Amino acid sequence: AVDESMATGESMPVAKTAGDDVIGATINQDGLLKVEATRVGRDTFLAQVVRMVEQAQSTKVPIQALADRITGVFVPVIIAVALATLAAWLIVPGVMRPLVEAGSFLPWVLADLGVATLAVTSMVAVFVIACPCALGLATPTALMVSSGIGAEHGILIRSGEAVQTLKDVRVIVFDKTGTLTQGAPQVTDVVCAAGWSERDLLAAAASAERGSEHALARAIVARAEAAGAAAGEPRGFEAVRGRGIRATVGGRSVLVGTRELMAEGGVDVGPLAERMGALEHEAKTAMLVAVDGAPAGVIAVADTMKADSADAIKALHALGLKTAMLTGDNARTAEAIAGQAGIDHVVAGVLPDGKTAEIRRLQAEHGRVAFVGDGINDAPALTAADVGIAIGTGTDIAIEAADVTLVRGELSGVVEAVNLSRATIRNIKQNLFWAFFYNVVMIPLAVIGWMHPVLAEIAMATSSITVVGNANRLRRVDIRPPYRRRS
């Protein structure tokens, strides 16, 4: 039984028999595994994943900061205006002199200066007023405050481009195993046959399973310990490949496994068949338990959803975003989890290249796409998406491929990242507006000689302080989703 979740997203261990393919770096959980290396070096699964990540990175175009584009036009225009001011004062002083004299009632307007002095003073005032300090501070100051707020909420942002892009995302795509779900099987249901209590059933099953290293066995033992069901030491333990286990506990014969194992042991599971079928319909792995040839109950195990997954998806929908899930797990399990979480679109049974192809399709159909994942198999999709969001409890390669990392591993961080992005870009736009508004008002006054260079310096510094102060207003924004605020 091999844990392939890091590579394929399959949440449950996969049984391997002679002739089956296994993936390097996946984990053998139960039994002796003898393999032949058929792909080495550049042909291995991990090498292919790295190659796909590199290809995706090379095709990703970074977004140029809005302030840089504006400043690229603004600076030449201001130089032209300043030179035109100097020329106007020197060439047509008769036109300019009445304009400055009209403001002679203001104490700082030097209307009695000579034409040449006024020409130079006005030109300098234009340069000082238009010094693009506020424009230069508008974006990086807001991004600096934003990154600090993100860190306080467990959101690590690698670049400002990610913040800008996340605002425009239309679809959030999730991996399943370890992202929407816990990433490890847990007992979800305990169904007892007549004459059995839950504690006794768990004690019998856990005692038998203590001889196994299988993930399902560990889940049963963990549930028994949590319930305070004392588990004994098994004797005569035997693992039956693909069907379950046999053991002797306290002198009693215990079987835990499939219908086939029960049939081999002559156990009639008819009274439990309907309930077991219902559990399997919910995409849970249901295991029958029999003691001394009689059915004792059913224990269902599944990779359960994280506590906040459904609430986070609901909050994303409230923000006007669509959601999707891409997983290497089987379709039945994927549909069950998607139904519980409220996911809009599901694609199951896909390997890393399939996830990347689906990301491309969603980008063509909807626009910008963010992908949330945690495994090695998610790295290409994290890089191909416009914004890659890695779960901090996941693999190093996923974190390295992502633009944003959620340290806590909770999906509420995705909602907070979107809210933070929108608030940050809104703040940047406010900064740019005030920087431009100040220039639009002040530059004409400087041109006609109403703005003394010293006053221009004060006004220029004031505009920078205004931008920095506005950026710090971001700290007052509550980026938590509604269900977090209630708690």
Q: What separation in angstroms does the CA of 223 have from each of 185, 216, 230, 282, 417?
A: 11, 11, 11, 20, 35
Q: What are phi and psi of 237, to 5 degrees?
A: -65, 135
Interatomic CA distance for residues 233 and 254, integer angstroms: 12
* Residue 370: strand pairing partners: 172, 387
Residues noted as catalytic: 175
* HSE-up (13 A, CA, CB side) for residue 311: 16
Residue 487, Cβ neighbours under 10 Å: how many?
5
Output the CA angle 122-127-132, nearest 5 degrees: 150
Q: What separation in angstroms does the CA of 254 have from each of 209, 267, 401?
A: 10, 11, 47
Q: Say if strands 322-326 and 171-175 run parallel, antiparallel, or are unpaired.
A: parallel
Q: Say if strands 322-326 and 27-28 run parallel, antiparallel, or are unpaired.
A: unpaired
* Element containing residue 66 per DSSP (H, E): helix 66-91
Quickly list H helices, 92-214.
93-101, 115-130, 133-152, 160-167, 198-209
The token pair at 170 is 């239309």
Interatomic CA distance for residues 92 and 115, integer angstroms: 10
Answer yes or no: are the C-beta atoms of 379 and 401 closer than 8 Å.
yes
Interatomic CA distance for residues 222 and 213, integer angstroms: 12
Look up residue 139 and give its amino acid: T
Q: What are phi and psi of 187, to 5 degrees?
A: -70, 130
* Biggest distance spanned by C-alpha atoms of the chain: 116
Interatomic CA distance for residues 208 and 238, integer angstroms: 10
End-to-end CA, the chain = 41
Interatomic CA distance for residues 130 and 120, integer angstroms: 15
Which residues, at least 6 apart from 167, have a Cβ–Cβ distance to it below 8 Å? Answer: 418, 421, 422, 424, 425
Residue 226: exposed, middle, or buried by beta-carbon count in 10 A (0-12, 13-18, 19+)?
A: exposed
* Residue 28: strand pairing partners: 2
